[in-house]
Each structure stands twice: as C-alpha cells, then as structure tokens.
Chain A
C-alpha cells in the first residue's frame, strides 16, 4: 500500500478525472448498465445495419442473379455465332463477375410416331444451373450424349418419364434454288460411313464455289466417347478439312486422330462418298433417353433440352442463336459491358435484359433507403433512451452533484465529468456494438441472403465514434439539469 501511495504521489488531474468517471461507471453498476445497454444495443443494431447496408448491393446482386439472365448475346446481322465466338466476346467482362453464360440453339424437332413437333434447345447444362437457378428438374440433368431434359408440358402430353426413350427427327430447312442466300452460302456435302463396330458416323460440310470445304460438322455420337467420339471435340482435327476438296486421302490431306483411327477413316470415307446437295443433310432421326422432367412455370416447360453436342450432331450445324448471360454487376457497369462486347466482337451483339436490370436497381435503392430509415429511427430511439437514463442518473445523483459543487466544482467541471462518463459509456457501447453488430449482420446475412460477410475493419472506429457522439448528444440536456443543481441543497438536513 505504501509503495503504491508513493508511486501515485504526484497524481495528475487527468488521472483523477479518469478515476472518478470510471469508478462512477464501474461502482454504480445498475443504472449505468442500463445506459451502457441502450448505447450498446443501439450501436449493435446500427453497426449491423450499416454492415448489411454496405453489403446489400453485393448480397442482392447475387440474389437477383437467381432470377435469371440480365444480358443476352445475339449474332450480329448475317453472322453466325459459335461457342468459340461467344467465349471470345466475353473477354470484355471480368470473369469473377460472370455468374454463368448459357448458349442456346433452337430448332424444331419432329416426333414422327405421334406427328408432333417440339422446340428443342441445345445448351450447356453446367451453365444453365447458374443462369437459370429457378429451373427445377425432377430426375437429373443429362450427363452424357443422347440424353435429354423434357419440359413438364411435353412430358405430360406424351406420357414421358425419367428413363423413357423418344425418337426425334430433324428436318433440314428446304432451300429453294432461286434463294440468294442459298447461292451465297454454297452447297453442302452430306454423308455417312461405318465407323467402329459398324456404327454410322455422319458428316456434313459446307463448300464454297470452288468446292473447298468452309466448315465441317461431325456426328460421331455412336462411337466410344473417349476414343472415336473425340473427333467431334477436337478442333485441330476438324480444322484440317477446311480449305480442302474431296476426295481426301487419310494420311496425306488429313491426319487421323490418335486413338480414333477407325472413326477418322469413317469421317474421310463419309465425305468422299457424300452427296452434294443444296440442303445440309437428309432428315435424321436420333433416339434419346429422358433423364429429367423440367418444371419452370414458364414456356420452357414446352421445350426439349439437349446438350449442344447433341444439337450439332442432329442438325449438322455448329451455331448458337442466343446466349443468356448472368453478370453480377451494377446497372452502369452492365451497360458498359454491353457496349464493349458489341465493339470488340465481330459477330456478337449484346442486349441488356432491361426488365431485370431495372427492377434490380429499383429494389436495391428502395432497400437501401429502408435500411437508412431504420438506422435513423434506431439512432433516435437510442438517443431518447440514453437521454432518459442519464436524466434519471442526474436526479439520482442530485446530492452528489450538489456536494461536488459545494466542494468547489465549477460548472465546467460538472459538465466535463458527465461528458466524460458519457463518452466512456459511448466507447464501451461502441466496442460492444461493433462486435455484436457484426455478429448480428452475420446472422442476418446467413439467414436471409444465405452467404457470410467479411468484417469491415472500419466498422470498429466508426461504431465507437457514432456511439460516443450519440452518448454525448444524449447527455446535453441531463448535463444542463446537473449544472442547475443548487449546491446549498447539501446543507439542508434532507
């Protein structure tokens, strides 16, 4: 004790000030805890709301992405859009902002046995899951070739179930000889040859005026996917044919694909035996297995969905009609991406799905306004609560204040002491609020938006500053009361 005393012999006024205000808070717990709680809870809600407020655009952006695509990519007039061109056009958009990009190729396919025809869409199921999360599939998405997804409407009309088989036929469009387009785009070579195990490999190639091949589509879906089936996916293999004329010799004009010699031979044979026609191909029928029934609540229920590879196989054409893009970005950024895509890509043009983009911005600003309003109300309520508590504290401490004044405390001292207590309360409440508020925001975020948020380091000083300001503002009136207390009251034998 003696040591401690000598150490503290020269105690500064500031030290005594701190000792007075801290012991007021620490030793007079009950009342101060109420004030601390009102500030703390206020700060908690504020910090939580502000965290959500800052995070809302990101959260809601992700949330809105589940309502579907917000950008469409279409071929420019007279151009053909391919998967490759689509991916090139997307280089203008930062990859982390692309939620998904689903290509679509629509054709009519006939079901000869029932004399019905349906719209079939060739797409990429991995992307559909991202761009159209509202798709609900009973069964599973197709995972391999000749597997399809059937819309609920079709499934009900025809009585299809998961695992059912269905034969669909593609009727190539009839081109009239006088059609200028047909003349410009040239004729086609269309043929087939036996590949591995005697299964047929189909080849369709477009040729120009000099009978040189300009594009080629191979349907080797009957072949073992990891061997012969590779000829469909290998662009180098296909590229060998471009610019050449039939007949071709394997090993001279065209090299066989490693591990797919039989299929490669079949492709060359099919081309050499092909009929030159003005239509791309003969009607072709393929039997598919249904892996799932699709429910969307929209027109998609009347469609058949297959992989883009299956689509190329049955139509003999590698092209995309439209691609749906889901991009997580603000309305302004979206518009600039759309412009960039148009500028950079020779074949693709982009369109904003305005309905989605607009409602996104509108809901976002309304939500932010709501959070702002609630924040203001909470701020006000906190101030009222703290002010009331401090008012009660002042009347509870009338005698003590009178005593201090009788002992010589000036108005400034009284003001400084109460303000000090208020700021100390604000400091504690702010720390409490920042921590609890972040936890609160985290809980809200996980439960409402289903994703977690990262701690904003600025939150701590901000919460402390705001709650100190609120505490100080709330104490102005109580301090006025305190200063008005007559020191003479301590003399009366109350």
Chain B
C-alpha cells in the first residue's frame, strides 16, 4: 500500500521548472533514497513532501489525503502528526537541553513526557547526555538527538534531508544503523542525499535530474550488507 504518491507534480518558479511532471510512489515501510545533483529539484520535492510548500500542478497524496491543496495551517497539522524531520544542520533549539529538545516536539504534537523522551534518547545511545545543551554535544550526538526527536511522536514517515552531510564516517554509520533499525520496525523512510553510500543503504533510489525522475535503482543487495 502506498503511503506517499506524487501524481504529475510540477513546481514552477517563473521560467524555472524546479519539478517537471514528477510522479512517484513510496510504499508503507519502504526505505527510499532520493538522489540528484544540486538544482535537480531535490529540495523542492523535499519541501513538498514535508508539507512546507505546495506544488504548482499535480497531486500529492500522503496517507490517502491530497496535501497539494491544503492551507498552510492544515499543512502544519499534517506535518506535525505524520512526519518526522531530520536535517543536515541538525537544528536544535540552542538554549534547551537534549531531552528538552525532544520534548519540544512532543509539546507541539500532544503532551510533553520526559520519561518517554529519555527513552528515545536511550535508543540513540545518549541517555547520559540528556541534560547537555546542544553546544556541549558533538555533531554526531546532535544528529542522533535529532533522530530521537523525529521518532518521538511515532510518525508515519521520516523525512531526512542530507542527514549525514555534516558527519564523519563513524557517525554516518551510527545514523545509518539507526535508520536500518527503524526500517525493521516498519517505519517509512525517505532520505534525500547526494552520497552514494547513504543511497546504497536504502531499498530503492530515485535519481532526479533537471526536475524530472531520471531513473530508479532497486538495491539488490539490500539487507545483506547491513
């Protein structure tokens, strides 16, 4: 069953077609990588899937709901309830501790629950760093906190934008291991990357070029190397 479906989606800025008649679908529980060089439309697609932008043309069905015509207020609600976001720059609230940063996500979603937030930190192996401020954490640790934050509200879709772009190899592997675990648990993952290795960890890779889907690659080795 497809969780996400893009039907002939275009995003046009003046003369520029950032996305040109793109169609794709992602099944529930699938792990998909989106690749492409700069200017290929990755970010635009990410914004649309992440409910932060609307397409000029076409339909976007998330969990059966067309989000292409929703008001931005509604899009905020959908994003909050269904999507967990992970960013290249980590993005934590600088004056809140690790556990508080996770609780912020709970706060906007439903109710903050410190115990649950601490458990999520435990999952990414950072329970003992719960009271540290972002400035006291390494980049890898910050990204792991962000993974924990993305998970906390049990989203149907985790959307990661270059999640390992600012990490060294050791931390990249830790994050990819976490993704693999999430995948095993049935979470749907969409990872936007330009890193071959990161893309290779996914089940399927969609390659964008000039705003169009250039090709799709199925990873035959999936589940064997990891």
Inter-chain CA distance A393–B161, complex, in Å, is 27
A5-B115, A23-B96, A406-B52 as given contacts; A16 in contact with B89, CB under 8 Å: no
Question: Looking across the interface, which residue of chain B has its beta carbon closest to that of A24?
Answer: B95
A13 interface residue (CB < 8 Å to B):
yes
Of the candidates B50, B53, B77, B111, which one forms a contact with A13 in the assembled complex, judged by CB atoms under 8 Å apart? Answer: B111
Q: Which of A114-122, A312-320, A330-338, A396-404 contacts B (4 or more CB under 8 A)?
A: A396-404
Q: Which residues of B contact A287 (CB under 8 A)?
A: none
Task: Given A11-B113, A400-B93, answer yes or no on A5-B118 (Cβ-Cβ < 8 Å).
Answer: yes
- How far is it, in angstroms, between the C-alpha of A375 and the C-alpha of B51 when the chains are bound? 49
Main DSSP-derived SS at the A contact region: helix
Verify if B76 is at the interface (C-beta below 8 Å from A): yes
- In the complex, whether A258 has a CB less than 8 A from a CB of chain B is no
B143 at the interface (CB under 8 A from A): no
Residue of B93, B96, B106, B165 ringed by the most chain A CB atoms within 10 A: B93
B87→A491 contact, CB < 8 A = yes
* Chain A residues, CB < 8 A from B118: 5
A1-56 with Cβ < 8 A to chain B = 5-6, 8-13, 15-17, 19-20, 23-24, 27-28
A253: Cβ under 8 A from any B Cβ = no
Q: Which has the most chain A C-beta neighbours within 10 Å: B47, B73, B104, B149?
A: B104
When the two chains form their complex, are residues A486 and B52 in contact, meaning their CB atoms are under 8 A apart?
yes
Knowing A13-B107, A408-B105 are in contact, say whether A491-B161 is a contact too (CB < 8 A): yes
User: In the complex, are the beta carbons of A407 and B108 less than 8 A apart?
Assistant: yes
Q: Are B96 and A404 in contact (CB under 8 A)?
A: no
Chain B residue contacts of A494, Cβ below 8 A: 89
Q: A19-B100, A408-B79 are in contact. Are A28 and B94 (CB under 8 A)?
A: yes
In the complex, B11 has a CB within 8 A of chain A: no
Shortest B221–chain A CB gap in Å is 29
- Chain A residues 402-417 with CB under 8 Å of chain B are 402-411, 413
Which of B89, B94, B108, B109 interacts with A493 by CB under 8 Å?
B89
| Contact, CB under 8 Å: A493 / B95 | no
Contact A6 B115 (CB under 8 A): yes
- CB-CB under 8 A from B46, the residues of chain A are 491
Residue B93 contacts which of A11, A12, A403, A408 (CB distance < 8 angstroms)?
Answer: A403
Within 8 A of B (CB), among A389-443: 399-400, 402-411, 413
Q: Contact between A16 and B165 (Cβ–Cβ < 8 Å)?
A: no
The tally of CB-CB contacts under 8 A between chains A and B is: 106
Q: Please, how many angstroms separate the alpha-carbon atoms of A411 and B46 in the complex?
A: 22
Interface size class of B (residues with CB under 8 A): 35 or more
The verdict on A446 contacting chain B, using a C-beta distance below 8 Å, is no
> Does A62 interact with chain B (Cβ within 8 Å)?
no
Q: How far is the CA of A400 from the CA of B87 in the complex (A)?
A: 13
* Size bin of chain A's contact surface: 35 or more
* Residues in A neighbouring B53, C-beta threshold 8 A: 488
CB of A492 closer than 8 Å to a CB of B: yes
Q: Which single member of A12, A17, A488 contacts B52 (CB below 8 Å)?
A: A488
Say which residue of A6, A20, A406, A411 sits within 8 Å of B96 (CB atoms).
Answer: A20
A16 touches B52 (CB 8 A): no
Interface residues of B in 153-174 (CB under 8 A from A): 161-162, 165
- Asked if A292 CB lies within 8 Å of chain B CBs, one says no
Whether the pair A17, B88 counts as a contact (CB closer than 8 A) is no
Chain A positions 473 through 493: 1 when the CB is less than 8 Å from some CB of chain B, otherwise 0? 000000000000011101111
Chain B residues contacting A20 (CB-CB under 8 Å) are 93, 96, 100, 104, 107
Nearest CB in chain B: distance from A219 CB, A: 90
A409 to B47 Cα, complex, angstroms: 16
Q: How far is the CA of A28 from the CA of B95 in the complex (A)?
A: 6
Kindly list chain A residues whose C-beta atoms are within 8 Å of the C-beta of B103: 11, 16
- Given that A27-B95, A27-B133 are known contacts, is A407 also in contact with B80, CB under 8 Å in the complex? yes
Which residues in B have their C-beta under 8 angstroms from that of A403?
91-93
- CB-based contact B96/A408 at 8 Å: no
A19 CA to B103 CA in the complex, in Å? 11
Q: How far is the CA of A13 from the CA of B94 in the complex (A)?
A: 20
Contacts of A28 in B (CB 8 A): 94-95
How distant is the Cα of A490 from the Cα of B46 in the complex, in angstroms? Answer: 12
Question: Is B114 among interface residues, defined by CB-CB distance under 8 A?
Answer: yes
Residue B29, interface by CB 8 Å: no
A160 to B118: give the CA distance in the assembly, Å: 97
User: Quick one: CB contact mask for A455-489 with B, threshold 8 Å, 1 for yes?
Assistant: 00000000000000000000000000000001110
| A490 x B89 contact (CB < 8 A) | yes
Q: Contact at A487–B108, with CB atoms within 8 Å?
A: no
- A491 to chain B minimum Cβ distance, whole angstroms, is 5
Given contacts A404-B93, A486-B52, contact A493 B162 (CB under 8 A): yes
**Within 8 Å of chain A (Cβ to Cβ): is B219?**
no
Q: Is the CB of A9 within 8 A of B109?
A: no
Chain A residues near B93: list those with CB within 8 A. 20, 400, 403-404
Complex contact B100–A23 (CB within 8 A): yes
CA distance A487 to B94 in the complex (A): 17
Q: A493-B89, A493-B165 are in contact. Are A408 and B112 (CB under 8 A)?
A: no
A487 touches B96 (CB 8 A): no
Q: Are B52 and A487 in contact (CB under 8 A)?
A: yes
Candidate in B46, B53, B112 with the most chain A CB atoms within 10 angstroms: B112
Question: For the complex, is B2 an interface residue (Cβ under 8 Å from A)?
Answer: no
Given A5-B115, A20-B96: A404 and B108 within 8 A (CB)?
yes
27 CB < 8 A contacts A-B = A5-B118, A9-B115, A11-B103, A11-B114, A13-B112, A15-B112, A17-B107, A19-B100, A20-B107, A23-B95, A23-B100, A24-B95, A27-B133, A403-B93, A405-B76, A407-B105, A408-B76, A410-B77, A410-B108, A411-B73, A488-B50, A488-B52, A488-B53, A490-B85, A490-B91, A491-B43, A491-B161
Shortest 9 CB-CB contacts between residues of A and residues of B = A408-B80, A27-B95, A16-B112, A408-B108, A488-B52, A403-B91, A8-B114, A16-B107, A28-B95
Extra contacts besides A13-B112, A27-B96, A408-B105 (19): CB < 8 Å:
A9-B115, A11-B113, A16-B107, A16-B112, A20-B100, A20-B107, A28-B94, A403-B93, A404-B108, A406-B85, A407-B104, A407-B108, A407-B149, A408-B79, A408-B109, A409-B76, A411-B73, A488-B50, A491-B50
Which B residues contact A (CB, under 8 angstroms)?
43, 46-47, 50, 52-53, 73, 76-77, 79-81, 85, 87-89, 91-96, 100, 103-109, 111-115, 118, 133, 149, 161-162, 165
